[in-house]
Amino acid sequence: MSFRSHWIAIVLLLLLPGAARGGSLRVAELQRVAAERVQMRLQVDLEGAPAQALEHGITLPLVIQRRHCVQGSCNAPLPGIYLQVRYAPLQERYLLEHQDQPARGFAFRPSLLDAMENPPAIMVPAGAGWELRVRLRVRHLPPPLRLPARLEEEWRLDTGWVAVP
């Protein structure tokens, strides 16, 4: 192998870990279904470190936040709606828990992701200026994962604020 081939191999080995795709979370659709209810459809992709954590039984805590904005000034978010995603290795089931509802079990990860993509309708007061956001609650991860979750791109499970129509 030539000197040039060695360098190319070394550069590729150094770049591949950074090229690993992580999870992503985005709002695919958002519509008002009643005066004070909003239905959201998410696009959820769990890959990389978040998927590995889930497979090892670590709970991924998520929150749906709501806030009201008027002329560029936003109020503090209302109390969040909490979701938890986890894998129960002994039961060989993925579990999805919505705030006050019993956990729903799924045998396969694609089934879990489908359920995550269609959360229950969310109460949002009538009127203009409301925004929603879904994000990973980094503070509620196990302590060894908090720093990587704050710093590494593959842990960025956050839709950002999206305006309610």
Q: What is the pLDDT of residues 127-142, one digit of tens each?
A: 889 999 999 999 999 9
pTM: 0.81
- Torsion 88-93-94-98 (CA) sign: negative
List, in sequence order, every residue forming a beta bridge with 136; answer none if it has no partner. Answer: 62
Spatial CA neighbour of 151 closest among 133, 138, 160, 135? 138
Cα–Cα distance for residue pair 11/20, rounded to 1 Å: 15
Residue type, 14: L
pLDDT grade, residue 88 (50/70/90)? very high
User: What's the pLDDT tens digit per position in 100-110?
Assistant: 889 999 999 99
Q: What token pair was written down for 141?
A: 């991860």
Please state, in angstroms and rounded to a whole number, the distance separating the CA atoms of residues 69 and 87.
Answer: 37
Closest to 78 in 3D by CA, of 60, 65, 63: 65
